[in-house]
Structure 1
Amino acid sequence: MKSLTNKVIILVMSIVIFIIYYQLLGFFAGNLLPISPLGTMIGLITLFLLIPISYLSAHVVVKVIKDM
């Protein structure tokens, strides 16, 4: 049960971190990425890279909080 609780906490935190990263990317992408097929492709690749990055970030945050 404790493992399930930890997984739910990591999932919720990864969703929150993903939303934060995605909002930051959207804020900066308006100025940096051109509106073209290449810009769209770069945006999609970055979007799919944000999913594991946000999960790993949430996992690290949970480990740091547990170690405190």
Structure 2
Amino acid sequence: MKTFKNKIIILIMSIVIFVIFYQLLGFFAGNLLPTSPLGTMIGLIILFLLIPISYLSAYGVVKVIKDM
């Protein structure tokens, strides 16, 4: 039960971190990337990279909190 609770916490935190990263990169990408097919492709690559990055960062946060 404890591991299930940890997985739910990691999932919720990864969603929150994903939204934060997406908002930050969306703000910068809106200003820096041109509206072209290349800009769209770069945006999609960044979007697919954000999913594992947000999960791993949430997993790391939970590990640090558990070790405290």
TM-score (normalizing by structure 1) = 0.98
1:16 aligns with 2:16: yes
- CA RMSD in angstroms comes to 0.4
Q: Which residue of 1 aligns with 2:65?
A: 65
Q: Which runs of 5+ in 1 are unaligned?
A: none
Aligned to 1:39: 39
Determine helix, strand or coil for the equivalent of 1:5.
helix
Aligned pairs, how many? 68
Shift of 1:31: 1.2
* AA partner of residue 2 (structure 1): K
Compute the TM-score of the two structures, normalised by the length of structure 2.
0.98
The unaligned stretches of length 5 or more in structure 2 are: none
Query: What's the % identity of the aligned pairs?
Result: 84
Instruction: Give distance in 1, aligned partners of 2:36 and 2:56.
Output: 31
Runs of 4+ deviating beyond 2 Å: none
